[in-house]
C-alpha cells in the first residue's frame, strides 16, 4: 500500500468530487445559507436549515480557504453562510436555535448545545479567513456560553428529574477537546490551558474506563459507571473520533505518552465495535451485551468509519503503531467500497448491518458538508506527513 | 382457514403462553409495579419503570379480570401495579412522570402526554375491577388534564418555536378515540358524545386525506398538508390501529358507513405500507418517497402487525370485506412466523427489513404487556363473533 498514492486519492476525492458537490448543490442563492437535504444526485428534497450543519459548512469552507487554497469561491461560500447564521441563527443573545425555515425563521428552540459549539467553530475559522473581528467576537462569546452551560446543557428542555440520577454525557467534553484548539487564536493562554486540561481529564480519566478497556457514553456526576440504559451505552465512533482530538492535543502539548494512549484506546474501540460477520463498526452497543434502546444500533454510519480512518492514520503517523496501520487498511477498503457512490459525487451515509444503503441521500438533517470532507482532508494531510 | 380454530389459537396463545409470562416474570414483589425490560427467556435486564408500560399492564390485567375470568391472581397483579402507579407515578397533581427508578423515584419529567392517557386507561379498568372510587377519580381527573393539554401536549418541554410552523400530531386524537369509550362509565353522556365526535372528525376528516388515500402523521393547525419531514411522515401501523378504534366507535354509535370507511382505509394503509420484497409492514414512510428522518424506517415491529390483525379481523367481521380477510390471512401467516418465539413465551418485537430479530427482548422501554396480549384477545373475540 503506497501511502503517498493513497494521500493523493483522498486529496482528489475531496477537491474533485466532494467540495464541488457542496459548492454547487447546497448554496441557497436566494435566502443565503445552505440546503443540506440533498438526494443521491444532489437535488434538494427539503429546505429546512439545521444550525449544526450550517455552522459546520461555514467552518469547512473557511478551513479549506485558510489551509488549502485562497479560492474566492470557497471564501464566498463560507461568508454567505456565516452571514445567514449571524442574522438568523440565534435569538439576539447568542442562544443558537436548532433549526430554521429556509428563510431563516426559528423552527426549533435553542435546546441543543452542539448548535452553539458548531457556531463557535464556524465563526472561529471564518474570523481567520476574513479578518472580521465581529466574527471573532461571536465565536468567543458563544464559546463562553457553551462553558457556562456544561452543568446542564439542555437548560429548561432537560427532561431528567433533578437529583435522581445525575449523568454526564461524553459528547460535550469530547467536542471541547477539538473546539478549544480550533479557536485557540481567540483565547487567553491560561484559560486555554485550563480548558484543555479539564477536557483531557474528563475524556481520558473519567469516560475511559481502564478496567473495561472502553470509553462509555455516560457516567454519573461522581464519575462512576451506571448500570442503566444510558450508562451501559457505547458509541464506538464517538470514542474513536475523540481519540484523534486527543492526539491533536498531544501534539499541541508535546505529550507523546498521551498520543500513544489515545492511539491504543482507538484501536481497542475499533476492535470492540467491529462486526465480525458483515464488517464495519456498529453504531451503538451495550457494554453488558443487553439490548440497547436504539433500534438503529447495528447500522453502519459514514461518520463512524471516516472518523476511524482519521484516528488510525494519525495513530500510525504519530506512533508507528502497526495495529493502527492494519486497521487503517481494513477500514479504508470497507469504507471506500460501501460508502463512496461511484456514480454520483459525495458519499452515502446510512447503511444497514449488511452494508446496504438504507437512505439514498447525500445530505439530510444530520449529514452535511462535514465528516466526509474533513476526513478526506485529515487523511490526505496525515498520510502526506505534513503538519496539520 | 377455519376461523373458529384460529380463534382458539389466539385464545390459547394469550392464556397459556403470554399472560403467564407477564404474571410470573414481570411483577416486582419487593417494590411493586412491573419490570418490563425482560430478555428472551424473561430475565430482568433493567429495572427502570416506564409509566406507559406500568399503566398498560394495570389496564391489561384489569381488563382480562373484567372480561375473561375473575382470576384473583390477575386482579392482584393489576391492583399492586395500580398502587405503585398511584403512589409514585405522578407529582401529587396528577402530572404523570415518564419513568421512575425501581423504587419509584422520578427519573424523567411529565413531558409525555401518553403517560397520562395510559394512566387514565389503567385506572378506568381498575376501578371497574375493584369498585374502588378513588381509582375512578384518578381516571376521570387525569382524563380532564389530558383534554386540557391537547393544544400543547408537551407543555414546557415543547421544543417547537411558537408560531413558525404549528403542526398537530395524529397520535393524540387517535388514542382519544379509544380512551373515550374505555372510560365511558366515568363520563357524562353529553361530554362523551362531544369528545367522540371531535376525535372522529380529527381522524377521519383531517388526518385522513381522501385525495391521497392515506392517513398522515402530522398536519398544520389549519388542517393542511405540510411538505416537511414531519408533514410527509406516514406511520402505517398507527393509521391501521386507529381504524379499529374507529370501527369500535362505529359499532358503539351504530354507524355502518363509518365502519365501512374505516375498514377500507385500513386495507389501503396495509397495501401502502407492505414491503413487496421481504414482506411485513414498514415502520415509517415519507409520502413523497423522500428519505425519512427515522433510521429505523424499514424495520418490522411487532405492534404494527398485531394491530393490523385486529383491524383486518374486525373489518372482515363487521363488513364482510374479502380484502380484509385476505390481508388477515397474509399478515397472520407473516406475524406468527416471524414474531412468535417458538421456544420461549411472549413474542419478539423488533426485526429488520428481512424479518431477522435485531433486539432479542420480550420487553423493554416501549414493549410491555400490551400489544401482544391485547391483540390476541381482540382477534380471539372478533373471530368468535361475540360482542367485545
Chain B hits for A159, CB-CB cut-off 8 Å, are 98, 108-109, 111, 157
Contact by Cβ (8 Å): A222, A167: no
Q: What pLDDT is stored for residue A385 in this prediction?
A: 79
- The reply to whether B76 touches chain A by the CB within 8 Å rule is no
Tell me the three state secondary structure of residue B334: helix
The answer to whether the CB atoms of A161 and B97 lie below 8 A apart is: yes
pLDDT attached to residue B191:
92
Ranges in chain B, pLDDT < 70 = 386-388
What is the per-residue pLDDT for A388?
Answer: 38
- Percent of chain A surpassing pLDDT 90: 98
Under a CB-based contact definition with an 8 Å cutoff, are residues B247 and B254 in contact? Answer: no
Q: Which three cell numbers stand for residue A231?
A: 450508562
A54-110: per-residue pLDDT in tens? 999 999 999 999 999 999 999 999 999 999 999 999 999 999 999 999 999 999 999
Counting one residue from chain A and one from chain B, the pairs whose CB atoms sit within 8 A come to 103
- Three-class SS state of B147: helix
| pLDDT confidence band for A387 (50 / 70 / 90) | very low
- So what's the pLDDT on residue A1? 73
Question: How high is the pLDDT of residue B388?
Answer: 38
* A48 reaches B (C-beta below 8 A): yes
- Asked if residue A272 lies in contact with residue A203, where contact means CB atoms within 8 angstroms, the answer is no
User: Do A229 and B365 count as a contact with CB atoms less than 8 A apart?
Assistant: yes
A283 to chain B: closest CA residue: B295
CA separation (Å) from A149 to A94, A95, A97, A235, B354?
Answer: 13, 11, 15, 23, 44
| Helices B72-88, B133-148: inter-axial angle, 10-degree rounding | 50
What is the ipTM for the molecules in this complex?
A: 0.95
Which positions in chain B touch A157 (Cβ < 8 Å)?
A: 157, 159
User: How high is the pLDDT of residue A386?
Assistant: 44
Query: How far apart (Å, rounded) are the C-alpha atoms in residues B339 and B346?
Result: 9
Q: What is the DSSP string of B152-220?
A: STTGGG--BPTTT--EEESHHHHHHHHHHHHTGGGS-HHHHHHHHHHHHHIIIIIIEETTTTEE-SEEE
CB B164 to CB A293 under 8 A? no
**Mean pLDDT over each residue of chain A, to the nearest integer:** 97
Which residues in chain B touch residue A97, judged by CB atoms under 8 angstroms apart? 161
- Give the gap in angstroms from C-alpha A353 to the nearest C-alpha of chain B: 9
Of B46, B101, B160, the CB nearest to A164: B101
Q: Is B299 on the interface with A (CB under 8 A)?
A: yes
pLDDT at A29: 97
Residue B385 pLDDT: 80
Looking at residue A252, its pLDDT comes to 94
pLDDT digits (tens, 9 = 90+) for A146-193: 999 999 999 999 999 999 999 999 999 999 999 999 999 999 999 999
Helix, strand, coil share (%) of chain B residues, nearest 5 = 55, 10, 30
| Contact assignment for A365 to B157 by CB distance below 8 Å | no
pTM over 0.80: yes
pLDDT band per the 50, 70, 90 thresholds, residue A320:
very high
Q: Which of A108, A156, A164 shows the shortest C-beta gap to B106?
A: A164
CB proximity A189 to B under 8 Å: no
Amino acid at each position: 500500500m503506497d501511502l503517498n498514492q493513497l494521500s493523493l486519492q483522498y486529496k482528489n476525492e475531496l477537491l474533485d468530487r466532494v467540495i464541488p458537490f457542496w459548492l454547487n448543490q447546497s448554496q441557497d442563492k436566494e435566502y443565503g445559507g445552505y440546503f443540506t437535504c440533498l438526494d443521491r444526485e444532489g437535488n434538494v428534497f427539503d429546505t429546512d436549515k439545521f444550525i449544526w450543519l450550517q455552522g459546520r459548512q461555514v467552518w469547512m469552507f473557511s478551513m479549506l480557504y485558510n489551509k488549502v487554497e485562497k479560492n474566492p469561491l470557497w471564501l464566498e461560500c463560507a461568508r454567505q453562510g456565516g452571514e445567514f447564521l449571524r442574522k438568523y441563527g440565534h435569538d439576539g443573545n447568542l442562544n443558537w436555535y436548532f433549526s430554521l425555515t429556509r428563510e431563516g425563521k426559528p423552527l426549533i428552540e435553542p435546546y441543543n448545545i452542539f448548535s452553539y459549539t458548531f457556531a463557535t467553530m464556524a465563526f472561529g475559522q471564518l474570523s481567520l479567513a476574513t479578518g472580521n473581528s465581529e466574527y471573532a467576537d461571536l465565536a468567543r462569546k458563544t464559546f463562553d456560553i457553551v462553558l457556562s452551560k456544561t452543568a446542564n446543557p439542555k437548560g429548561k428542555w432537560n427532561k431528567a428529574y433533578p437529583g435522581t440520577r445525575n449523568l454526564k454525557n461524553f459528547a460535550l467534553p469530547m467536542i471541547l477537546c477539538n473546539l478549544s484548539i480550533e479557536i485557540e487564536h481567540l483565547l487567553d493562554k491560561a484559560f486555554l490551558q485550563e480548558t484543555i486540561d479539564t477536557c483531557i481529564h474528563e475524556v481520558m480519566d473519567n469516560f475511559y474506563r481502564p478496567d473495561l478497556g472502553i470509553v462509555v457514553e455516560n457516567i454519573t456526576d461522581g464519575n462512576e459507571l451506571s448500570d442503566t440504559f444510558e450508562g451501559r451505552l457505547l458509541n464506538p465512533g464517538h470514542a474513536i473520533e475523540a481519540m484523534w482530538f486527543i492526539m491533536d492535543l498531544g501534539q499541541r502539548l508535546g505529550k507523546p505518552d498521551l498520543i500513544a494512549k489515545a492511539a491504543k484506546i482507538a484501536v481497542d474501540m475499533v476492535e470492540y465495535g467491529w462486526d465480525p460477520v458483515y464488517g464495519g463498526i456498529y453504531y451503538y452497543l451495550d457494554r453488558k451485551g443487553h439490548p440497547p434502546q436504539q433500534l438503529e444500533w447495528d447500522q453502519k454510519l459514514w461518520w463512524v468509519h471516516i472518523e476511524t480512518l482519521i484516528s488510525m492514520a494519525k495513530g500510525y503517523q504519530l506512533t508507528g503503531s502497526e495495529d493502527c496501520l492494519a486497521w487503517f487498511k481494513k477500514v479504508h477498503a470497507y469504507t471506500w467500497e460501501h460508502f463512496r457512490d461511484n456514480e454520483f459525487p459525495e458519499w452515502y451515509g446510512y447503511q444497514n448491518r449488511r452494508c446496504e444503503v438504507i437512505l439514498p441521500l447525500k445530505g439530510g438533517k444530520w449529514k452535511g458538508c462535514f465528516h466526509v470532507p474533513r476526513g478526506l482532508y485529515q487523511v490526505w494531510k496525515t498520510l502526506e506527513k505534513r503538519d496539520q
